[in-house]
Structures are given as C-alpha cells and as structure tokens.
Amino acid sequence: MGKAWLVMKTLEKHVQSLQNPPFSLPPKLASHVESQFQRLWRMMKTNLHYVGALLNLYFLGNNMIHDDVDAKEGIRYYGRCLLMQHHMFKL
C-alpha cells in the first residue's frame, strides 16, 4: 500500500503539469486526464492506505508521507479504533 501511495503522490505532480512543457497537452485533454487521475487517487485515499504507508519500513525516512496531514489523520483514526477495541475486550 505504501509504494502505491508514493507512486500516486509522485504522479500527481506530473498530471497537474500536463498543460505545461514538455507535455503541452491541449487544456481539454489535460483536464480529462487530471479528472480521471483524481478519481483513481480518491479511491486510494483511505485511512487504511495511509496507515499501510506510514507503517511500511521502506518509508521510515520519507518525509512526504510522514508530513502528510491526511496520513496523520489516518493513523489517529486507526489508533482510536484499536483503543476502543482494547477497552471493549477488556471488560
């Protein structure tokens, strides 16, 4: 999950610059490609993907994922879920 997140994050920069050189795509085509990319990216932006990327040993020194606000929220979400499960089974 972490590698897929990193690839998509890197691709996002390129997709957003398709109208500029060296690509210079027509605005309508570039807009279509960007909207399709964003649709796929939204499917990957889940708490589970963020947690998988944050916990991946391959990304220990990767500030791009560790500084990502959504990734931090994902880890907080799963932390709360685990804490709630711990308290439920402790009873």
Count of structural domains, the chain: 1
Domain hosting residue 76, numbered range: 2-90
Nearest to 8 by CA among 51, 56, 72, 64: 64
Sign of CA dihedral 44, 72, 3, 12: positive
Q: What is the distance between the alpha carbons of residues 80 and 77, in angstroms, rounded to a whole number?
A: 5
Rounded to two decimals, the pTM is 0.61
List the chain pLDDT tens, one digit each, 91 residues.
677 777 888 898 899 999 999 889 999 999 999 999 999 888 877 777 777 777 788 877 888 877 888 878 877 877 777 667 666 665 4
Report the first-to-last Cα separation within the chain, whole angstroms. 34
